Amino acid sequence: MTKTIAIQGIQGSFHHIVSLDYYDNTHKVKECLTFDETVASLFNNTAETAIMALENSIAGSILPNYALIDNNDLHIVGEHYLDVQHQLMALPNQTIADIKEVHSHPMALLQCKSFFKDYPHIKLVEDKDTADVARKIEAQQIKGVAAIASTLAAKIFNLDILAESIQTIKHNQTRFAIVKTQPINNHKNEINKASLKFELDHKRGSLATILNVMSDCKLNLTKIQSLPKIETPWKYSFFVDVTFEAYEDFEKAASIMTIMATHFKILGTYKNAKL
């Protein structure tokens, strides 16, 4: 069904891995430089589906991506979890002693900084995209320079992995959303998770009241994030994820929350991918 999937980054990026894990390798991938471009692809019909990182266990929620989904009224139709592991890679027949520079995205360099304390001869250089450095190293046959990227990038661009999982914090679980401009007709009995957004006045107990409704309707809260609305003091937005066993329970809770909260919105209903 899905023909083209818009991903952030190029082939071999972590978003590309998610597209292969979630769908398969029969679809086409559209490489996008930014998340804005990923979303634009859905509206100019160059992609039917987009994949966007939503949060990770180190940095938390990626609020700009929540805003993109919310402001463009996109629908989350699925989720996927990936344990992001950074590999050090270079052209074959080199050792770490041969490497003079490592180029990667500032965030990847930051996450791997401790590893390089043992290699003071290596200079860290910021670049735009993790996988794109791997691509350039192969395309231009650059020796003495290594990339920090995924195992998939090493495979695609024929690089050797010099050191595995070099990031300081060994588990960096990242959650990705599969998004479309329209909801898909999932079978209700396959849906057991929903992403919601609502606003509440800054009135004592107002969130507790909403959570009581959710609890009474047998919904489990798996994530909650408050967001003050700068323009309207004392108003708060909440992004909430819930899991449930029966879709009817969710429908009941949603109908009550629509009345109790301001601007109640279902960002998506989908199958829980967390084991």
Residues lying near its own copies in the complex (CB under 8 A) are found at 57-61, 63-64, 106, 126, 171, 173, 202, 204-205, 207-208, 211-212, 214-215, 218-228, 230-231, 238
Report the nearest approach of its own copies to the CB of residue 206 (Å): 9
Taking the least distance from each CB to its own copies, the nearer of 118 and 231 is: 231
- Return d(Cα 74, Cα 40) in angstroms, integer: 11
Taking the least distance from each CB to its own copies, the nearer of 112 and 219 is: 219
Taking the least distance from each CB to its own copies, the nearer of 49 and 65 is: 65
Taking the least distance from each CB to its own copies, the nearer of 16 and 175 is: 175
Taking the least distance from each CB to its own copies, the nearer of 97 and 224 is: 224
Taking the least distance from each CB to its own copies, the nearer of 92 and 205 is: 205
Report the nearest approach of its own copies to the CB of residue 193 (Å): 13
**Alpha-carbon torsion angle 177, 180, 186, 189, nearest 10:** 30
Sequence-distant (≥ 6) Cβ neighbours of residue 67 within 8 angstroms: none
Report the nearest approach of its own copies to the CB of residue 229 (Å): 9
Report the nearest approach of its own copies to the CB of residue 8 (Å): 14
Report the nearest approach of its own copies to the CB of residue 18 (Å): 18
DSSP per-residue letters across the chain: ---EEEEEBSTTSHHHHHHHHHS-TTSEEEEESSHHHHHHHHHTTS-SEEEEEEEETTTEE-HHHHHHHHHTT-EEEEEEEEE---EEEESSS--GGG--EEEE-HHHHHHTGGGGGG-TTPEEEE-S-HHHHHHHHHHTT-SSEEEEE-HHHHHHTT-EEEES---SSS--EEEEEEEESS-----GGG--EEEEEEEEES-TTHHHHHHHHHHHTTPEEEEEEEEE-TTSTTEEEEEEEEE-S-HHHHHHHHHHHHHHSEEEEEEEEE-----
Angle at 212 between CA 79 and CA 209, to 5 degrees: 110
Report the nearest approach of its own copies to the CB of residue 55 (Å): 9
Report the nearest approach of its own copies to the CB of residue 58 (Å): 7
Taking the least distance from each CB to its own copies, the nearer of 144 and 228 is: 228
